[in-house]
Homo-oligomer: A and B are copies of this chain.
């Protein structure tokens, strides 16, 4: 950690905003969720603000109720490709599941996105916790948590072999002798494991970054170990400074345990900033959005998240006392615990809890002026809680514009954030070294 340590800021983008009521605002387009022009506009705004990357969440399933909020989601690597063509520097991080893909297909898509974007691809590795996804892929029950993580670890190992199969100097392009690539610089994967048999080589040559940036977002015990072993950036949902400090120290220590430099794994919590020119205006925006939550849908979803039956929750009462423990949950363990702890810590009724979750689905929400938003970001950044933030604007594009035009300049004046992009690719944005091919590394060492 040097004096010049800088924040890393991502724009977590979606349709009309992270607050579930945002699509009901007068200026919001209900079709924005499948409108590439909407997302291209967001990408340009984020790049104007010199943000590190764009981030897209994902699950291969229809999430929640189609009544509640825009539920259609373009496939992330396709959408990010469309955003790559209108930007030059900003990273492009797509969530993709290790449970419902095959390593060859996934490795190829990220290598392709990295080529098309000239080195800006990132992969947010998830194991996908929802039953609805399992039911789209020939299963009747959700695979259990530890099985999903075991498959994920082998999946990433296979993908790394495939990406490293082409050396930097594999394409010789020898027109005179008619040799396009050198056979001994393109390597089979020859992977035989418990979950996968993959021969390789990949049919995409080495991409500008060598492979995508590896990102991870699970915060369970398995998730933290996985992050510590593989991830270069970690997204997390934590509410309090103390929770974040504990998470931050834990993941960095685990990374050291895997023999890694802790600076090579960036911890980036989510923040949902409601920005106003005065504090009162920011709070009024937040209240306006909360009024736009349709409680019928929200209660149903909360019951599902808590493994309750329809009708188990009452709007103006607290959560029931006899909820399952995290160990009994096969789904999104850490999100489950976050919801229950938030409700109990702040003694919230179901209606109040829905308001808090509707803003950012469990992420930290904060309403204030640009100066106040910059202050809380700086405070957590400077107190061992974060290396940066995933900016989850409650309303899009407005909330991202407000952040870029009013908060970013403050962070820049304080010397906390870049004023120009440092290099050509996503690894440069994150201050990470290039990924060399194993053959060349071994050659250099011998």
Contacts and interface: CB of A to CB of B under 8 A. Distances in A.
Contact of A183 (B36, B67, B81): B67
How many copies of the chain does the oligomer comprise? 2
A136 B71 CA distance: 33
A69 interface: yes
B196 A138 contact: yes
A173 interface: yes
Interface stretch (A96-104, A259-267, A340-348, A402-410): A96-104
A66 interface: yes
Contacts of A100: 102, 104-105
A205 B34 contact: yes
Contacts of A332: none
Contacts of A79: 112, 116
Contact of A62 (B67, B84, B115, B201): B201
A183 B66 contact: yes
Interface stretch (A1-9, A174-182, A226-234): A174-182
Interface in A101-118: 101-102, 104-105, 108-109, 112-113, 115-116
Contact of A104 (B26, B72, B137, B199): B137
A86 interface: yes
Given A82-B81, A108-B60, A135 B34 contact: no
B71 A180 contact: yes
Contacts of A186: 62, 66
A292 B178 contact: yes
Nearest to A198: B136
A205 to B, nearest CB: 4
Contact of A116 (B62, B82, B170): B82
Contact of A82 (B70, B85, B109, B175): B85
B108 A139 contact: no
| Among A36, A72, A115, A181: residue with most chain B CB under 10 A | A72
14 contacts: A23-B180, A24-B175, A30-B175, A34-B207, A36-B115, A59-B203, A62-B203, A65-B183, A66-B180, A75-B108, A81-B82, A102-B138, A136-B199, A178-B294
